Amino acid sequence: MRTTLILFAILSIAVAVKWHQLHCYSFEDFKSEHGRNYRNAEEEEMRRGIFETELHRVRKHNADETKTWKEGINKFSDRTLEEKASMRGLDKSMLHDSKESDPVQYRRNSNFNINNLPFHVDWRQQGIVTPPKNQGNCGSCWTFATAESVESYLALATGVLDTLSEQQVLDCTPNPNQCGGTGGCAGGTVELAFAQITQSGGLSEEWTYSYQSFNGANFSCRPITPVVTVTNFTVLPSNEIQPMLEHIATVGPLAISVDASAWSAYESGVFNGCNQTNPDLDHAVQLVGYGTDISLGPYWLVRNSWSPFWGEEGYIRIMRESPDSVSCGLDIKPSDGDGCRNGPPVVKVCGTCGILYDSVYPEVQVVAQY
């Protein structure tokens, strides 16, 4: 099953129109490629206008030789800003006492030396990362980052890479204090989800509790058949690059929060297009590695949940700053991300796209034999 999905993704990407093929690309080409059938002529003209504006912007971006990433035409290219926002799903004051959690205290390594870390780390190569998924039109990124993290740490602990249920997390995680949103497709946080998995007795496999919220609908919590549980979790120190580098290099992937508001057209390369002055953390994803592109510089390797047909086969490389030159900004809308109701109005956020602000990983335990 896994091999079939990967082959399908590769074949589909191979025939997709790439940035260098857009010189004669039209709206009719776009409709055909993406199977668009609009409700009426009025909507079609509205979508055409959005598409043509986006196509012009993408062509202009790709003609700029100073840019370290390329953009393309994809399933988002006829969508409004509001529709694109629904593909994220942290709706956030962050890292304060209303996180609704009691994480394990992070232990610093006094012997840390960045020069001793590997030059390149990619946890996909260790067989502990499932193929990229697609959250659809539901703001469920936080449930995907949760399930993906449990999958990876289960694989690290047992050698078994299993696909786990995002829908269970979505349906069964109450959010009374509106941390990261109001729950379900309207947003939540990974910390809330980890705590709920512990309380409910564990997380089910995908095939026993399959994803149903692709079109944006919420559903009630159903009986579960858990195979693994979260015994606790650790939140890394906020806005510090050392703990993140060390963890990715020596332990495993991380669930992180980012500003993905400018990601929709990303196609390839090392991305550096976020608002660093006022980053707006609005998306939960999985950090699975880091490295350095010989032409484009250092990067973080991030797994998204917008299907394997987006970006670099479902992934994006984010510019990685050096430890002595990390940029920071102020998130003036923390309620759009992983914060809670009545939290602070402004928070300091560091790293490209705010990547250093909020990172967490679980401790897991098998509750059913495979």
CB 142 within 8 A of CB 193: yes
Active-site hit among 179, 283, 340, 353: 283
CB 91 within 8 A of CB 336: yes
Residue 102 is predicted with a pLDDT of 61
Query: What are residue 270's phi and psi, to 5 degrees?
Result: -105, 110
Amino acid letter, residue 70: K
276 pLDDT above the threshold of 60: yes
Reference 142, options 169, 107, 110; nearest CA is 169
Active-site hit among 138, 141, 340, 350: 141
pLDDT of 102-127, one tens digit each?
A: 667 677 776 778 888 999 999 999 99
Q: Which helix (H) or strand (E) covers residue 1, if one does? A: none
Cα gap 180→173, rounded to integer Å = 12
96 a catalytic residue: no
* Beta-carbon-side half-sphere exposure of residue 94 (alpha carbons within 13 Å): 36
- Helix, strand, coil % in the chain, rounded to nearest 5: 30, 20, 50
Residue 205 is predicted with a pLDDT of 97
Cα gap 33→214, rounded to integer Å = 20
- Number of H-type helices and E-type strands within the chain: 8, 12
The model's pTM:
0.89
Residue 50 is predicted with a pLDDT of 96
Pick the CATH number of 2-85 from 3.40.1440.10, 1.10.3720.10, 3.40.50.360, 1.10.287.2250: 1.10.287.2250
Ordered by start, the domain boundaries in the chain are 2-85, 97-366
Active-site hit among 74, 304, 340, 353: 304
Q: How confident is the model at residue 63 (pLDDT cuts 50, 70, 90)?
A: very high
The percent of residues above 90 in pLDDT, for the chain, comes to 73
Q: How confident is the model at residue 335 (pLDDT cuts 50, 70, 90)?
A: low
99 pLDDT above the threshold of 90: no
Residue 8 is predicted with a pLDDT of 36
* Whole-number Cα distances in Å, 337 to 193, 249, 304: 15, 27, 16
Averaged pLDDT for residues 296-303: 98
Taking the CA atoms of residue 57, residue 63, residue 65 and residue 67 in that order, the dihedral angle to the nearest 10 degrees is 20
Kindly state the tokens that stand for 245. 């580098």
Cα gap 319→332, rounded to integer Å = 23
Residue 12 is predicted with a pLDDT of 40
Q: How confident is the model at residue 98 (pLDDT cuts 50, 70, 90)?
A: very low
Helix (H, G, I), strand (E, B) or coil at 354: helix
Q: Look at domain 97-366 and name its CATH class.
A: alpha beta
Q: How confident is the model at residue 346 (pLDDT cuts 50, 70, 90)?
A: confident
